[in-house]
Amino acid sequence: MQGWTGVFLKVNLTKSEAKPEPYNEDLALNFLGGRGFAIKILWDTLKQGTNPLSPENKLIFVTGPLTGIGLPNSGKLVIASKSPLTGGYGDGNSGSWAAVEIRKAGYDALVIEGKASSPVILHIKDQAVEFLDAKDLWGKNSFEVEDQLRKKYSKLAGIVSIGQAGENLIKFATVVSQKGRAGGRPGMGAVMGSKKLKAIVVEGTQPISLAYPDEMKQLAVDGYKELLTKPLYSFWKRQGTMSTVEWCQENSCLPTFNYRQGVFDKAEGISGFTMEKMKVSNRGCPQCNMTCGNVVKDSEGKDSELDYENVVMLGSNIGLGNLAQVATLNRLADEFGFDAISLGSVIGFAMETSEKGLIPEKIGWGDFEAIKALINDIAYRRGLGAVLAEGVRSAAVTIGEGSSDWAMHVKGLEVSAYDCHIAPGMALAYGTSSIGAHHKDAWIITWEQKAGREKYDEAKVDYLIKTQLLRGGAFEALTVCRFPNGSLGLELEWYHKYLRASTGKSFSLDQLNQTSDRILTLIRAFWVREYGDKWSRDLDVPPMRWFKEPLKVGPLKGAVLDLEKYSAMLDIYYQKRGWNKNGVPTKETLEKLGLADVANQITYG
C-alpha cells in the first residue's frame, strides 16, 4: 500500500501494552481514513450499549492518506469515540503536530482502549512505546501540560493533552493541542480522562511512502501558491472566521441571549474589525499557510486564540460584548479543555433559567465575574456547575420546569453558533449532522441566504446532502481542512490530484461520494444501534425554540421555523439518502454501499 502506512497502533492502557496491527487494503479503499476508519473500528469492535466512560470504549486518533506529507491544510487529526455527551458517534478534528508525527512514526491511527491504574502519558517514538507516570501533571491545565512536555521533548513533537475538564469527566471536554487547537466536541476529552490518559507525545522519524513523490512535491508547492492567488486570501489572513460575526449580525442569525434574538446590540464590540485592532499574531495548524487562529491579549494580558464560534458562544450568546473579556473566557475554556461552543450554550441556558427564577443562583447576562466563577464550578463539578457539566440536555432533565424548551441541542450536542429561526436548510444540517448539532459537516447558511432563506425546498436538501458528502465525508476521511475549498474556493481537482500522487489510485468524484455515503450511513447506523428502541425521527429535529418562539427583535422580528414544512424536508432528505421514514438506512441502501451485514444489527422502526 502506498499513501497509507497500513498499520494501526493498538494500545491497551489496562495492560500497558501496545502493538502495531496491519490492516488490509480493502479498509483503506472503502473508508479512506480519518472519520471513515474511526466509524468502521467503532462499529466492528464496540458492543452495543458500551458505557462511553468505561475501559471498553475506544479512543481513536486517526489520520488520512494526505496527512503529514507537507500539503496545504493537511495537518489535521480526527479524534473519535462513542460520545459520553450524546450516547452516539462522536468525533472532532484538530490541527496538531500529533497528526503529522503519528504518520511519521509509521501509523495511520492510534486505537486506545482500557484504563490505566494511575495517570499516564503515552510516549510513542516510532516502534518504541512507553507508558510514563503522569501524576505530577494530573490537575494541571492543558497549557501547563504542553509547556512541561515541550521542555522534555523535541520542538516538533506531536502533543495532545486534556485539562481538568477531561480529568473530571465533563461531558463536553475536548482534547487540546498547541494551546488552543481543541478537538472532539462531544466529550472526547472526558473519554481520555476516563482512561487516566493525561497526554500523548508522538515523535516519528520515518518517511511516508508515496506513489508519486516527485509529483507530490510539486503539487504541494503549487497548492500553497494557488491559495495565495485566491481573492479572499488576504482578508482571511486578517480575520479568519471572525468576519462571520458581522455577517450573522446583518442577517439575524447571531446567537444572542441563548438563541432568542439573532442580533446583538453590542455586536461591534466582538466583531472581526474589533479583533483586528487587538490582534498580536496568527496561529494555525501544521503545514497551513491560511493560519486562521487570531491571537489577542485578553483582559488579563494573556494570549487567547479566537475564532468565530468561540467568540460568539462566549460573547453574544451570554450577553457579553467586551472582546477582551470574551478572550479571557475563551482562554479558560482552552486551558481547562472545555468545548467553548457547548460551554457558551450551558452558560446561556443557566442564565435564562436564572432569569426565570427557576434556580437560586443569580447569573446575569454578560456578568463577567459570575461567568468566570461558573466556569470554574463546571470544571470542578461544584453546585450548579455539576449539573451543567453533564451538558444542556441532561441539565434540563435535572432542573425540569419546562427548561428543555430553552436547552439548545440536537441529540445531546449543543447547537453551534448559527441561529436558525429563519434558516430551515441550516436547521436541517444541524438536525442530520453526524455528531449532533454541529456545523462542520454542512455550513450552508451563507448559501441559503442567497438561495432564499424562507424556502423549504428540494434544492436545499440537494445542496445539504452534497455538502455533507464533501465536508462531513470526504474531507473528514482525508482529514484535511474544509476552509481552502469552503472559504477561499480552492477547486476540488486539487484533492483528486493529491490523492492520486499519495496513493497511486484515481478516485473519481462519484467514487469519493459513494465512500462518503458509506461512512455517513455507517455513522447513522451506529446511532440507531446505540439508541435502540429510543431511536426516533424526532431526534433529527432541532430545538423547539426555533419553531415556537419567534425572533423578538431585529429586521427579521417575528421569524420562526415551520415544523410541518421542516418535517416534509426531512422526508425528502431521508428518501434521497435511502433511509426509511424513521431515518434508518434501508437494507437496500446498506447493500448498495457494501454494508449488508449492518442491517442485522439495527432495528427498523
Which contiguous run of DSSP H or E holds residue 576? helix 563-577
- Nearest distance from residue 578's CB to ligand SF4, in Å? 32
Of 304 and 394, the one with the shorter C-beta distance to ligand SF4 is: 304
CB atoms within 10 A of CB 147: 12
User: Binding to ligand SF4 by residue 95, rule CB under 6 A?
Assistant: yes
Contact status, residue 539 vs residue 411, Cβ threshold 8 Å: yes
Of 86 and 485, the one with the shorter C-beta distance to ligand SF4 is: 485
Residues 12-51 that bind ligand SF4 (CB under 6 A): none
Residues 60-79 that bind ligand SF4 (CB under 6 A): 73
User: Binding to ligand SF4 by residue 481, rule CB under 6 A?
Assistant: yes
Contacts 24+ apart (CB under 8 A), 569-572: 569/424, 569/428, 569/456, 569/457, 569/460, 569/461, 570/428, 570/431, 570/432, 570/537, 570/540, 570/541, 572/458, 572/461
Draw the binding track, 159-178, toward ligand SF4 (x: CB under 6 A; -: no contact).
--------------------
User: Binding to ligand SF4 by residue 461, rule CB under 6 A?
Assistant: no
- Nearest distance from residue 588's CB to ligand SF4, in Å? 38
Torsion of CA 159, 164, 169, 174, to 10 degrees: -40
Interface with ligand SF4 by CB under 6 A: which range of 290-298, 354-362, 400-408, 424-432? 290-298
Contact status, residue 13 vs residue 115, Cβ threshold 8 Å: yes
Of 290 and 598, the one with the shorter C-beta distance to ligand SF4 is: 290
User: Binding to ligand SF4 by residue 284, rule CB under 6 A?
Assistant: yes
Find the largest Cα–Cα distance for the chain.
Answer: 66
Interface with ligand SF4 by CB under 6 A: which range of 50-58, 223-231, 280-288, 571-579? 280-288
Interface with ligand SF4 by CB under 6 A: which range of 263-271, 281-289, 320-328, 409-417? 281-289
- Nearest distance from residue 318's CB to ligand SF4, in Å? 24
Of 95 and 344, the one with the shorter C-beta distance to ligand SF4 is: 95
Is residue 587 packed enough to be buried (19+ CB in 10 Å), middle (13-18) or exposed (0-12)? middle
Distance, CA of 182 to CA of 492 (rounded, Å): 26
- Nearest distance from residue 480's CB to ligand SF4, in Å? 8
- Nearest distance from residue 244's CB to ligand SF4, in Å? 13
- Nearest distance from residue 236's CB to ligand SF4, in Å? 8
User: Binding to ligand SF4 by residue 501, rule CB under 6 A?
Assistant: no
User: Binding to ligand SF4 by residue 191, rule CB under 6 A?
Assistant: no
- Which distant-in-sequence residues (6+ apart) come within 8 Å of 162 by Cβ? 142, 173, 174, 175, 176, 189, 192, 193, 197, 198, 199, 337
Contact status, residue 120 vs residue 198, Cβ threshold 8 Å: yes
Chosen residue from 38, 77, 169, 290 binding ligand SF4 by CB under 6 A: 290
Of 334 and 517, the one with the shorter C-beta distance to ligand SF4 is: 334
Of 72 and 189, the one with the shorter C-beta distance to ligand SF4 is: 72
Distance, CA of 188 to CA of 169 (rounded, Å): 10
Question: What does DSSP assign to residue 602?
Answer: S
Chosen residue from 227, 285, 512, 590 binding ligand SF4 by CB under 6 A: 285
Of 95 and 106, the one with the shorter C-beta distance to ligand SF4 is: 95
Distance, CA of 275 to CA of 327 (rounded, Å): 10
Is residue 117 packed enough to be buried (19+ CB in 10 Å), middle (13-18) or exposed (0-12)? exposed
Give the helix ranges, DSSP H, for 62-115: 97-104
Q: Tell me whether strands 303-306 and 181-183 are parallel, antiparallel or unpaired.
A: unpaired
User: Binding to ligand SF4 by residue 292, rule CB under 6 A?
Assistant: yes
Which contiguous run of DSSP H or E holds residue 188? helix 188-194
Give the helix ranges, DSSP H, for 230-294: 233-239, 244-250, 272-278
Of 421 and 438, the one with the shorter C-beta distance to ligand SF4 is: 438
- Which distant-in-sequence residues (6+ apart) come within 8 Å of 501 by Cβ? 210, 211, 212, 213, 215, 216, 219
Chosen residue from 4, 143, 336, 483 binding ligand SF4 by CB under 6 A: 483
Chosen residue from 288, 392, 528, 595 binding ligand SF4 by CB under 6 A: 288
Provide the angle, in degrees to the nearest 10, between the axes of the packed helices 34-45 and 509-531: 40
Of 50 and 289, the one with the shorter C-beta distance to ligand SF4 is: 289
Of 180 and 315, the one with the shorter C-beta distance to ligand SF4 is: 180
Of 251 and 287, the one with the shorter C-beta distance to ligand SF4 is: 287
Of 223 and 543, the one with the shorter C-beta distance to ligand SF4 is: 223
Interface with ligand SF4 by CB under 6 A: which range of 11-19, 81-89, 283-291, 312-320? 283-291
DSSP labels, 47-70: PTT--TTSTTS-EEEE--TTTTSS
User: Binding to ligand SF4 by residue 238, rule CB under 6 A?
Assistant: no
Which residue type does 213 have? P
Question: What does DSSP assign to residue 338?
Answer: B
- Nearest distance from residue 189's CB to ligand SF4, in Å? 19
Interface with ligand SF4 by CB under 6 A: which range of 285-293, 375-383, 577-585, 587-595? 285-293
Of 483 and 566, the one with the shorter C-beta distance to ligand SF4 is: 483
- Interface with ligand SF4 by CB under 6 A: which residues? 73, 95, 284-285, 288, 290-293, 481, 483
